Amino acid sequence: MSGTSHPYAIEAEDLGRKYLRGWALRECSFRLPAGCVSALVGPNGAGKSTLLGIAARLLRPTTGSLRLFGKEMGDPAALRHVAFVDQERPLYKRFTVAETLRMGRELNPRWDQAAAERIVEAGKVPFGARVGTLSSGQRTRVALALAFAKRAELLLLDEPMADLDPLARHELSALLLSEAVERGLTVLMSSHLLSELEEMCDHLVVLAGARLRMVGHVDELVPAHRLVTGLADPGPGPGEGAGVLPAGIAGRHTVIESRFSGRQFTALLRTDTDPGDAYESVEPSLEEVLLGYLRSAEAPPLISPASRLSAAAPHAEGKAA
Ligand SMILES: Nc1ncnc2c1ncn2[C@@H]1O[C@H](COP(=O)(O)OP(=O)(O)OP(=O)(O)O)[C@@H](O)[C@H]1O
């Protein structure tokens, strides 16, 4: 069972991190409900590791604040709830696997040695091997064993599956899901493998160009869209392209993305009304929605009502704008 009864694992308010080259993360405000398994998605350089690093308190934000289970980041109690698996898997290379687990046991009062050993054994990683001699997938497994055995309520995982083989991915994602259900564990994991995320995650945080593009439960995000095809209106003049979106589409719905092929258009719309019989309209897949938001930087972001800081919540109401 979760040791905290707070409804939100993460509440980020105007969170930003600036480097000399520019913003790595900017104006990031959202909240992540406790108990969800959330995919952190976005292109290379979008700001995913930066967000995870701030949440793990390895990076200081330049702007804004972040609460973990209602506790401000400066509160040492906040960090007890969190385990982080860094993209680089920083482990002591000279330690053996057994020594690494012993270190975990000594540093963490809620340490679950049996869980750590199970995860290591399932990958046939020798306990006597030095970490520096392990393959990258084996090191990932040891890092995940440390994170799981800490018995944290929030797991922050930076590309946890990237160097695991398909069997290990399957096994460890099943473990994540069962822990999430049994212990009310919250997971925020970055990945580029959408197919893998679709099976595992019930929630999405999408970043592009350092800004939030989409946040919410998959069940809320996908049905808020329609993928519409139909005949385009003629373009404004010769040489201006094949056509434009019909006024009934462009004027009545939020167009996330549109494409033209001959006289046909295909548009991803954010809408709760049917575009009408003149068009063919289907619910898009998660991948179609995600790619639409990632390709169209100018499309307005979608932060679901439950993921907005301004939504009704006893502790957040005072801060809502
Ligand atoms: N220490 C740093 N100094 C300067 N710029 C940095 C630093 N760390 C990150 N950045 C920049 O911040 C931006 C966001 O980087 P970040 O690592 O958060 O992206 P990411 O979404 O995790 O990317 P990837 O999918 O490639 O891992 C990038 O443009 C990156 O170059």
C-beta of residue 270 within 8 angstroms of C-beta of residue 254: yes
309/230 Cα distance (integer angstroms):
38
C-beta of residue 54 within 8 angstroms of C-beta of residue 61: yes
pLDDT at 316: 37
- Average pLDDT over the chain reads 87
The average pLDDT across 195-209 equals 86
130/146 Cα distance (integer angstroms):
15
pLDDT tens-digit profile of 219-251?
999 999 999 999 888 776 655 556 788 887 888
The average pLDDT across 156-165 equals 88
For residue 70, give both structure tokens: 């209602």
Residue 98: CB atoms within 10 Å: 14
152/157 Cα distance (integer angstroms):
12
252-274: b (≥16 Cβ within 10 Å) or e? ebebbbbebeeeebbbbbbbeee
- Domains recognised in the chain with CATH numbers: 8-217 (3.40.50.300), 221-301 (no CATH)
CA-closest candidate to residue 189, choices 85, 54, 75: 85
26 lines ligand 1 (CB under 6 A): no
CA angle, corner 164, sides to 289 and 58, nearest 5? 75
If one residue of 26, 49, 189 were mutated to test the ligand 1 pocket, choosing by the most ligand atoms within 8 A of its CB, it would be 49
pLDDT tens-digit profile of 117-135?
999 998 899 999 999 999 9
pLDDT at 18 over 60: yes
Residue type, 70: G
Distance 49 CA to ligand 1 centre (A): 7
C-beta of residue 145 within 8 angstroms of C-beta of residue 112: no
Residue type, 269: L
Q: What is the percentage of the chain residues whose pLDDT exceeds 90?
A: 54
Distance 229 CA to ligand 1 centre (A): 37
pLDDT at 29: 96
Distance 8 CA to ligand 1 centre (A): 26
pLDDT at 76: 79
pLDDT at 15: 96
55 lines ligand 1 (CB under 6 A): no
pLDDT at 241: 58
| Helix (H), strand (E) at residue 213 | strand 211-217
pLDDT grade for 315, boundaries at 50, 70 and 90 = very low
DSSP, res 96: B
